[in-house]
Structures are given as C-alpha cells and as structure tokens.
Amino acid sequence: MDEFTPTSRTTIKRIPERGTYDRQFVYQVLDEGLVCHIGFAVEGQAYVIPTTYGRVGDKLYIHGSPGSRLIRSLQGDINICVTVTLLDGLVLARSAFHHSMNYRSVVIIGRAYVVEGTEGKQEALQAISEHIVPGRWQHTRKPNSSELNQTLALCLPLAEVSAKTRTGAPVDDEADYDFPVWAGEIPLRLVADPPIDDPRLLPGMKVPDCAKNYTRSPQNKSKQ
C-alpha cells in the first residue's frame, strides 16, 4: 500500500492540491520531525501538548510518566490527534494576501494503546531514542526496572493519516506581477550548533559521532 486511505476525518478539504496520503511522504515528515503536538479532548476541552516520539513501520511511539495528564488521558477511551509540522520557509508574495509558508505536516488520528511487557516497552523507548539521536542508545546506561516502571509507552497505529505540503515560489494574482516589490522565499531549517559538554564530564570523554554534526536532513533519516 503506497497511500493511506482517506477517511471523513482525514480528507483534505481546504486547498486539496496541497494534500497527500503518500506513505513515503508521511514517513519522511515523521522521521525528520523531533516534536509532535498531541491533541486530546477532556469533557469537550481540547488540550495540545508537545512531546517527542519515534516511528517503527506503521507504529508511532510516545512515552511519558504514568502520572502525567497527557499519558493518563491517552489511555482513556478517546481518539487523539497527533500533528507533526516542519516549517521549510516563508513565502513573500507581492500582495499581503498571498503571503504563505512552505511546510510539510502530518496529521494522525486514532486511539493509542499501552505497550505491554518489558520487552515491548524497551523496544518503544529505544525507537524514540534512535529517532531523536540515532546511535545514542547503545552507549547509554539502559533503563532499569524502576525506571521502566516510571515510564509508560503508548503506540498510535498509523492508519488514519493525512499530510499537507507547500513548496516553491509565491503565487500572486496575475495583475500583481507588475507590482514593484521584491518577492520570493526565505528558506528556514533547524540546525545544530556544536555540542556543549556536561560540566561533570569524566576526563577523556569525547563528543560521539551521534552528536557531532547532528542533522535532521531527510535523506539520512528515511527508513522502511
């Protein structure tokens, strides 16, 4: 299956030509992103909480403390919405009206379930860790049973999914192309500055490859 099947909740209605259900596109956006925004409703009030995540195939993993409102709410009998947005640039048109942004975003709707069992939980936590800093997990002190008990991992299946994107130059009204102002795009991207050593570093501990020249460039991140 190369595309997710649109449902009534994920059909792109607004500017549908910017919508896509392409599976590889969705994977690339999720794999490049670091933060998702999770929406859930409690008695009609929506809450939107930022958190990190990981992806393995068609599973999106999130984690947190069993005591947090987010995690407690997500375990309930409710559908949630997880959105990942990558901002690629600002689009400066000639008219104020046609100013825009270049972006890629993914919206996932569904019900998260608790990942059961120590092995499953470790797998989920490793997936999140590898998503954020590939290669880091193997060098860390792994979670002990107390830490595992303090952590809940949830899985949201990638089933009801849509994506949107805008790329390229501004699109002005034909009459405005004579309007005498600069127009174009300001590209934006997330960059890493040189790593900062922990003040209590043991002697001889060098910055590892996984932290050196850290990048979220999509070509390195796409998988499956």
Which residues inside 183-222 make contact with a second copy, applying CB under 8 A?
183-202, 205-208, 211, 214
Among 6, 59, 151, 218, binds a second copy (CB under 8 A): 151
Query: Locate tokens 């929506």: which residue?
Result: 46
* Nearer residue to a second copy within complex by CB, 1 or 46: 46
Q: Per rule CB under 8 A, is residue 162 in the interface with a second copy?
A: no
Q: How far is the CB of 184 from a second copy (least distance, A)?
A: 5
Burial class (CB in 10 A: 0-12, 13-18, 19+), 182: exposed
Q: Per rule CB under 8 A, is residue 111 in the interface with a second copy?
A: no
Question: What mask, x for binding a second copy by CB under 8 A, covers residues 13 to 32?
Answer: xx------------------
Question: ∠ CA 84-158-126 to the nearest 5 degrees?
Answer: 75
Q: To which H or E segment does residue 26 belong?
A: helix 23-32
Site for a second copy in 51-110 (CB under 8 A): 52, 65, 67-70, 78-83, 85, 87, 90, 92-97, 99, 101, 103, 105, 107, 109
- Determine the residue type at 11: T
CA gap 92, 182 in Å, rounded:
8
Rounded to the nearest angstrom, the gap between the alpha carbon of residue 161 and the centroid of all alpha carbons in its chain is 13
Among 26, 62, 125, 163, binds a second copy (CB under 8 A): 125
Q: How far is the CB of 191 from a second copy (least distance, A)?
A: 5
Q: Per rule CB under 8 A, is residue 38 in the interface with a second copy?
A: yes
Query: Locate tokens 């930022």: which residue?
Result: 50
* Nearer residue to a second copy within complex by CB, 1 or 101: 101
Strands lying side by side in the sheet with 113-114: 54-56, 59-64, 152-157, 113-114
> What's the chain's Rg over C-alpha atoms?
20
Q: Per rule CB under 8 A, is residue 119 in the interface with a second copy?
A: no
Q: Per rule CB under 8 A, is residue 118 in the interface with a second copy?
A: no
Contact partners, residue 199, CB within 8 Å, separation at least 6: none
Q: How many residues bind a second copy (CB under 8 A)?
A: 93
